[in-house]
Amino acid sequence: MLKSFALSTLMVLGAASGALAQSDYPTQPITVVVPFSAGGPTDTVARLVAQVMSKELGQQVLIQNVGGAGGTLGAGQVANATNDGYTLLLHHIGMSTAPTLYRNLAFDPLTDFTPVGLITSVPMTIVARKDFEPTDMASLTTYLKANGQDVTYANAGIGSASHLCGMLLQDSLEVQMITVPYQGAGPAMTDIVGGQVDLICDQTTNTTNQIKAGEVKAYAVTSPARVDSLPDLPTTAEANLPRLEIGVWHGLYGPKDMDPAIVAKLEAALQTALQDPTVIQRFAELGTAPVPLDQATPQALTEELKGQIELWKPIIEEAGVYAD
Ligand code: ASP
């Protein structure tokens, strides 16, 4: 009797302190893990959004860059983190390709995370060091068909967006380039600008400034329509590569089984960030836009993730690319 009274008292106290924790949340800084290097496109999106979320939540939202293995190291870290809302993950399309690409993936994107919402979908651009010989997409195609085996292609590891785009490019042209892997597309772009590596396909959020400054040579954009911020760049479909269409969607997650009240606060803060004029303007300058607000929700992110896992599975299987 005493024991059950004590137990139920503890349960009531526990529930009360849980409720208090939810209503007080957040009471300390929040860490958002970006599973790629600082200075790259995922990092850029995360820092823009985190600034507004931080104001909205009244606590610092800090970015932690955990690059490696195409984003699976950082994602794995968050899958194993405490689900108190203080450790989150901002990842991209790689969440949906990792289950097919990685034979020994340490997490399940659909069951080991709590989705918060979609953020944006970013087109990709095919760019090269500025003194790379081909001048347009047609001459790039001819050049790669003849010399592809000698061309160095930078990517951010297996399952990164730059890897997927490179895989589709090589597949479409039936060529095999030399892959140079990085922990993120930030350092990869530094080496493209420096001329140490020939080619990359990466998000406009990482290439627009360099294209506009003439630091790289740009060939095509992977969206169905041209991008306003880079109007002279043809689409891959215009350049006769219709299979090379890819939009890099980004989402915010926490570890699995997060408190719904905490998720609701994060969802609201994310939606505020996506309506912020500075975020909208910077996104536009970098060739993208926030998703409509009804997609910045846990349900929409879950649907996108499920759909994209199904979409990429046969493409990856056909390409026969796997990692351990
Ligand atoms: N966007 C890069 C990629 O997936 C990674 C990064 O954000 O640095 O290729």
- 139-170: per-residue pLDDT in tens? 999 999 999 999 999 999 888 999 999 999 99
- Local structure of 13: helix, strand or coil: helix
Give residue 92 CA to ligand 1 midpoint distance, Å: 8
Q: How is residue 256 written in tokens?
A: 């699995």
Which residues sit with their C-beta closer than 6 Å to ligand 1? 36-37, 40-42, 155-156, 160-162, 184-186, 202-203
Instruction: Quickly state the pLDDT bin for 318 (edges 50, 70, 90).
Output: confident
Find the helix or strand (DSSP H, E) in which 312 lies: helix 298-319
Q: Considering the domain boundaries, does residue 168 fall inside one?
A: yes
Q: Which residue has its alpha carbon closest to ligand 1 atom 2?
A: 185
- Mean predicted lDDT score pLDDT of the chain: 92
Rounded CA-CA distance 133/142 in Å is 11
Examine the domain organization and report whether 131 and 116 are in the same domain. Answer: no
Return the number of other C-beta atoms located less than 10 Å from residue 148's C-beta. 18
109 in the same domain as 178: no
139/113 same-domain check: no
CB 187 within 8 A of CB 111: no
Average pLDDT over residues 107-115: 98
pLDDT tens by residue, 15-44:
444 554 567 999 999 999 999 999 999 999
Q: What was the pLDDT predicted at 258?
A: 98
The domain boundary, picked from 186, 221, 256, lies at 221
- Give yes or no: residues 70 and 160 share one domain: no
* Unique residue bearing structure tokens 């001459």: 139
Beta-carbon count within 10 A of 240 CB: 12
Q: Is the pLDDT of residue 6 over 80?
A: no
Assign residue 263 the CATH number of its domain.
3.40.190.150
Ligand 1 centroid–CA 2 distance in Å is 58
127 and 116 within one domain: no
| Tokens matching residue 309 | 């896992």
Q: Tell me: do 197 and 173 sit in the same domain.
A: yes
Distance 30 CA to ligand 1 centre (A): 22
% of the chain residues with pLDDT over 70: 93
CA dihedral 38, 42, 45, 46 (to 10 degrees): -70
* Distance of CA 188 from the midpoint of ligand 1 (Å): 9
Cβ 290 vs Cβ 51: under 8 Å: no
Q: Which atom of ligand 1 is nearest to the CA of 42?
A: 7
How far is the centre of ligand 1, averaged over its atoms, from the C-alpha of 127 (Å)? Answer: 14
Q: What's the pLDDT band for 319 if we cut at 50, 70, 90?
A: confident
Report the pLDDT averaged over residues 212-233.
Answer: 96
Based on the number of CB atoms within 10 Å of its own CB, is 190 exposed (0-12), middle (13-18) or buried (19 or more)?
middle
Q: Is 202 helix (H, G, I), strand (E, B) or coil?
A: strand
Structural domain that includes position 271:
28-122+248-319
Residue among 203, 210, 286 whose CB has most ligand 1 atoms within 8 A, to mutate: 203
pLDDT over 90 percentage in the chain: 86
Locate the ligand 1 atom nearest the alpha carbon of residue 183 and give its number: 8
In ligand 1, the atom with minimum distance to the C-alpha of 163 is 9
Ligand 1 centroid–CA 43 distance in Å is: 8
Q: Are strands 113-129 and 216-221 parallel, antiparallel or unpaired?
A: antiparallel
Which residues, at least 6 apart from 144, have a Cβ–Cβ distance to it below 8 Å?
134, 151, 169, 173, 175, 177
- Residue 234 belongs to some domain of the structure: no
Q: What is the pLDDT at residue 146?
A: 97
Q: Are residues 217 and 128 in the same domain?
A: yes
In a domain, 7, yes or no: no
Nearest CA to ligand 1 atom 7: 42
**Judgement on whether residues 135 and 284 belong to the same structural domain of the protein:** no
> Which CATH number does the domain housing residue 183 bear?
3.40.190.10
Give the SS3 label for residue 65.
Answer: strand
207, amino acid identity: T
- What is residue 25's predicted lDDT score, i.e. its pLDDT? 97
Q: Which of 204, 221, 238 is the last residue of a domain?
A: 221
Q: For residue 22, is it within any domain?
A: no
Instruction: Verify that 150 and 201 share a domain, yes or no.
Output: yes
- 112 shares its domain with 138: no
Distances (CA, A) of 105 to 79, 221, 322: 12, 31, 11
pLDDT in tens, 278-314: 999 999 999 999 999 999 999 999 999 999 999 999 9
N- to C-terminal Cα separation, the chain? 55
Which residue out of 160, 169, 190, 197 has the highest number of ligand 1 atoms within 8 Å of its CB and is therefore the one to mutate? 160
Q: Separation of 161 CA from ligand 1 center, angstroms?
A: 6
* Residue 262, domain member (yes or no): yes
Predicted confidence (pLDDT) per residue in 43-81, tens digit: 999 999 999 999 999 999 999 999 999 999 999 999 999
